[in-house]
Amino acid sequence: MGSIIDSIRKGFAPVRREGFVFVAIPLFIALFVGWYWPPVFWIGAIVAAWCAYFFRDPKRVTPIAPDLVVSPADGRVASVAITVAPRELGLGETSRRRVSIFMNVFDCHVNRAPVAGAVTRIAYTPGKFLNAELDKASEGNERNGLVLDSANGPIGVVQIAGCVARRIVCFVKEGDVLAPGERIGLIRCGSRLDVYLPVAANVLVAEGQIAVAGETVLARFGGGEGDTRVRID
């Protein structure tokens, strides 16, 4: 019996505490209103299960090497481009490689640090709620930007709200020192993450590719093989 329970536990990812209220409300309705009207029980139970699924926070195995950049989000690589980072990041007018990852409502929305480094800047910018897949969403949408001081120079990470997502949550603060793959925040519903890298970075993903936060290698600096050890979190 114990092995069966352990297998069940391993098959379900824990729920982030930010999602507890979203699970509790429909569950409460299902249990108390559903007692008098059974159809409400099933509706509430389904909504509660969906919210638990949406706010899941699975463990990830992160490659550890100073020359690697891992994906900060689950989702589809929406674009790989060379552009200038948003002004609020303070990265100047130098062109950078931008990798954009679009998260739909079925993707895990917990975001992770793409590299190791200290958080030197956090900049929240109010804005619109355009479709996060559009290129102009990088500049026009509500967003929260972080700058990480990595071994390969400053790296920009921008959480972008979409047409459905209206709440960006950041778990870290300026001065925090992060490991690659460490949790940095989440965005509710469909949204997007942009990573701004120095042009020296070798991007290893293509548009349309599916990325896994904390595991998929987005880019590499230099031409070495690096350290292949992994960290389990």
Q: Residue type at 101?
A: I
In the chain (233 residues long), the average pLDDT of successive 10-residue segments reads 44 73 83 81 87 85 92 94 92 94 89 96 76 53 90 94 69 95 85 92 94 95 53 47
- Helix intervals (H) in the chain: 2-11, 20-32, 38-54, 137-140
The dihedral region occupied by 30, where left means phi > 0, alpha psi between -120 and 50, and beta the remainder, is alpha
pLDDT at residue 166 in the model: 56
Note if 191 is an active site residue: yes
Q: Give the per-residue pLDDT at 168.
A: 85
The predicted structure's pLDDT at residue 105: 83
Q: Angle at the Cα of 151 (from 86 to 72), degrees rounded to 5?
A: 55
Q: Please provide the distance, in angstroms rounded to a whole number, between the alpha carbons at the two ends of the chain.
A: 27
